[in-house]
Amino acid sequence: EFMSIVYFTGNEPAPLRGNDISNAMLELLAITQWGSLDFLIVDMPPGIGDAAMDVIRWLKRAEFLVMTTASKVALETVKKVIKMLAELNVPIIGVIENMKMKESSSVHEALKEFNVPLLGAIEFDMNLEDSIGNANALLDGDVAACLKEIVVSNQGFKVGSDL
């Protein structure tokens, strides 16, 4: 199942701020008939803003999968996110390195102070942009293959008691 605010706005901008973001998220969660799901993945902006705090408040069984690049700036934000989630006793499934371009241990090193696993990496894909808007091309592409490999190799990652 897939839901996006884009289905309502089309190609028009949706300048949402503050409570408008929260209200739009809540409405999407409430009106969508999800059916039987193994996972509900909510893609959120970087950091801990209103969207993340709302998900923590609304979805009591939420577990976070943190995405990051190897950028020093991104890793500092990720450290803050992990600390905040730990303080709120929110389970963290793990971290995935996104847009990996070279061999580097920076993400692994940044996670050493936390009890959070690095689940894998999604290699940078120069052809990804050409697949945007084409679901089949996205599903057949390198990014999907990397994600599948990460999921398959971490199938026993269950953090919570009732996933």
Low-confidence ranges of the chain (pLDDT < 70): 1, 155-163
Quote the pLDDT of residue 143: 86
Hey, what are 2's tokens? Answer: 């897939």
Quote the pLDDT of residue 129: 86
* CATH number of this structure's domain 39-153, picked from the four choices 3.10.20.30, 3.50.50.60, 1.10.1060.10, 3.40.50.300: 3.40.50.300
pLDDT digits (tens, 9 = 90+) for 78-123: 999 999 999 999 999 999 999 988 888 889 889 999 989 999 999 8
| Cα 89 to Cα 83: distance, rounded to the nearest angstrom | 10
Quote the pLDDT of residue 87: 94
Q: What is the DSSP letter of 67?
A: E
Q: What angle do CA 111, 115, 120 make, to 5 degrees?
A: 55
Quote the pLDDT of residue 131: 84
Quote the pLDDT of residue 158: 53
Q: Residue 88: exposed, middle, or buried by beta-carbon count in 10 A (0-12, 13-18, 19+)?
A: exposed
Per-domain residue ranges of the chain: 1-37, 39-153
Does the global pTM surpass 0.85? no
Q: How many CB atoms lie within 10 A of CB 151?
A: 13
Rg, C-alpha atoms of the chain: 17
